[in-house]
Structure 1
Amino acid sequence: MERSRIAVAGASGLIGGALVRSLTADGHEVVRLVRRAPRAKDEVRWDPEGKSLDPAVLAGCDVVVNLAGAGVGDHRWTDAYKTRIRRSRVLGTAALAEAIAELDEKPGVFVNGSAMGYYGETGDRAVDESAPPGAGFLPELCVEWEGAAAPAQEAGVRTVFTRTGLVVARGGGAWGRLFPLFRAGLGGRMGDGRQYWSYIALHDEVAAIRHLIDTDGLSGPFNLTAPHPLTNREITAAMGRVLHRPTLFTVPAPVLRTVLGEMAGDVLGSARVLPGRLLESGFTFTFPDIEGALTAALAEP
């Protein structure tokens, strides 16, 4: 892709921060949309839960990427926090999509974050982008989240939804919490360990987003997950091998439900999600296996 002006919402998050570093390293001009007072010349303040966004903020942007939203795993899912999760994603997406639609010179592509939670519980059944949404809080959220991008789509802007899996990274997300436990020799399977975890290396997550930006004609949902999902038991064993630590501990399902509440369903649930459309589009994973993804995460600066 030629040097472009790219707006990124959620630039301070795990994925957004890595994407911004990748884009700026290649000479692209990045406009970071932040909720606090700007601290650098490339930052612009916005309110993702506000009723609207001044389209002038996005003027001249060739690409808009929205990765903003309250962390799903950051807090116990109280009714209040679920409302915050929904508002931060749905209202933020709507504000961006409506601002894009109002521009005279519209960006070529709008990449909007989503999650593999769209599919809900799949058990042993493998699903790709053709599968319908599941039932429960996360699937309902993802449907509403993606639906909020409609103004940009209806305005003719190529719109992509990244249904991201569990990102393997040292600096955040699920593995940001797992690595310290396993390094201390306290790691182990969760529940019976038979639930599928669909993961993706942070490097591949960023590369996939850039591939979706750069490849004309790609629109709609794309599963950003490695090609071969593994069970929690298999991932636990891989963590032990890579970190050279025992994995004797287990966290029983009732304990997880007591500690995490409704969010425990996301940890104990099985999501066997395949990146069908991503592979068909010609994307190649650098770290398709869990050992490679774990090793890459440990090598992050």
Structure 2
Amino acid sequence: MKILITGASGLIGQRLTETLLSQFHQITALTRTPERAAKLLGPQVQLWNTLADKTSLDGFDAVINLAGEPIADKRWTKDQKQKLCDSRWQLTAQLAALIKASANPPSVFISGSAVGYYGDQGQALVTEDRLAKKEFTWQLCSRWEALALEAKSEKTRVCLLRTGVVLSRQGGALSKMVMPFRACLGGPFGDGQQYMPWIHIDDMLNAIQFLLHQNTLNGPFNMVAPNPARNEQFSTLLAKVLHRPSFMRVPATMVQWLMGESAILVLGGQQAIPQRLIDAGYKFRYNELKPALEDVLKN
């Protein structure tokens, strides 16, 4: 297949690109930093640095859209919120327009989203049919998804990736969580009862490929493991795998002071399950948190 990937130099995109290349797919990556991308992805990947000179995406079999400003790296000021939105909405709108303009469009458009689509759901079980709470993360993700769905037609199906915390040894959210635990300063946030939907990087990659090749699948998919963990359970298991204590509970008021409005990312949560992936027949390699953490944190 000939595949266009955005966000190919990110945590998921880089591993996905490597995997697809090993299967002899032809990969084109859209990147703002071609020199850096060339070093990360290698000479087999064709690089684009803009879509401005493109009139269609004829010739591509699939588009995988993973680009976006990291959501938890900075406080949510008004400007930062706009940056989070623009980095997702503008590119997704461009891709959808190019797909619609194609005489022979890609057969599938796989586009990013997040479990933040649902907002803070407390203790409720969250499948893809769950009604969302209209918080900022819902505003961000719902518009992002709506723009992607503009590409849908008889020739192009659209799959939306409502992703949880991706567990990987290469970086991402887990690397930030590990640091205080290694210093014996780790522990739950707030009361620790909020759910943390997670997914092992291998299942993330395998599930994307599953959606790539299952021609009947479309719509939203919770990209999470079948067994979400509460923050307290996650902290206990992480400490156990790292052979460190887990007693430094971080008060909710401190998290709110440090993170502002974005504190909802760690003090809220979703007991999200991958109902539509399970129904479609996807088999998870990592169903339980402890083996997943042991794998990504092994020496």
Using the size of structure 1 for normalisation, the TM-score is 0.93
The reply to whether residue 10 of structure 1 matches residue 7 of structure 2 is yes
- Verify the 8 A CA contact 1:10 1:34 in the aligned structure 2: yes
Matches within 5 A, 1:41-190: 42-46=46-50, 54-56=54-56, 58-154=57-153, 156-190=155-189
Aligned to 1:244: 243
Q: Distance in 1 between matches of 2:53 and 2:78?
A: 27
Q: Distance in 2 between matches of 1:286 and 1:30?
A: 26
Q: Distance in 2 between matches of 1:151 and 1:252?
A: 43
Q: Distance in 1 between matches of 2:150 and 2:7?
A: 20
Aligned amino acid, residue 46 of structure 1: T
Local SS of the residue matching 2:73: coil
Local SS of the residue matching 1:187: coil
Local SS of the residue matching 1:54: coil
Aligned to 1:215: 214
Structure 2: gaps (5+ residues): none
Local SS of the residue matching 1:200: strand
Local SS of the residue matching 1:149: helix
Structure 1 residues 40-76: Cα deviation after superposition (integer angstroms, max 9, x where no partner): 56111126xxxx56135x3321110000010001111
Using the size of structure 2 for normalisation, the TM-score is 0.94
- Verify the 8 A CA contact 1:223 1:273 in the aligned structure 2: yes
Structure 1: gaps (5+ residues): none
Local SS of the residue matching 1:248: coil
The number of residue pairs the alignment matches comes to 292
Q: Distance in 1 between matches of 2:132 and 2:54?
A: 33
- Verify the 8 A CA contact 1:55 1:100 in the aligned structure 2: no
Aligned to 1:200: 199
Q: Distance in 2 between matches of 1:225 and 1:215?
A: 18
Aligned mate of 2:31, from 21, 29, 34: 34
Local SS of the residue matching 1:266: helix
Aligned amino acid, residue 278 of structure 2: L
- Verify the 8 A CA contact 1:133 1:143 in the aligned structure 2: no
Aligned amino acid, residue 72 of structure 1: I
Local SS of the residue matching 1:55: coil
- Verify the 8 A CA contact 1:164 1:224 in the aligned structure 2: yes
* TM superposition shift of 1:173: 2.1
* TM superposition shift of 1:36: 2.5
Local SS of the residue matching 1:111: strand
* TM superposition shift of 1:293: 1.4
Aligned to 1:21: 18
Q: Distance in 2 between matches of 1:185 and 1:26?
A: 42
- Identity between Structure 1 and Structure 2 (%): 37
Q: Distance in 1 between matches of 2:217 and 2:298?
A: 32
Aligned amino acid, residue 54 of structure 1: K
Q: Distance in 2 between matches of 1:225 and 1:186?
A: 27
Aligned to 2:265: 266
Q: Distance in 2 between matches of 1:55 and 1:204?
A: 34
CA RMSD of aligned residues (A): 1.5
Moved over 3 A (4+): 37-41
Aligned amino acid, residue 29 of structure 2: R
Local SS of the residue matching 2:133: coil
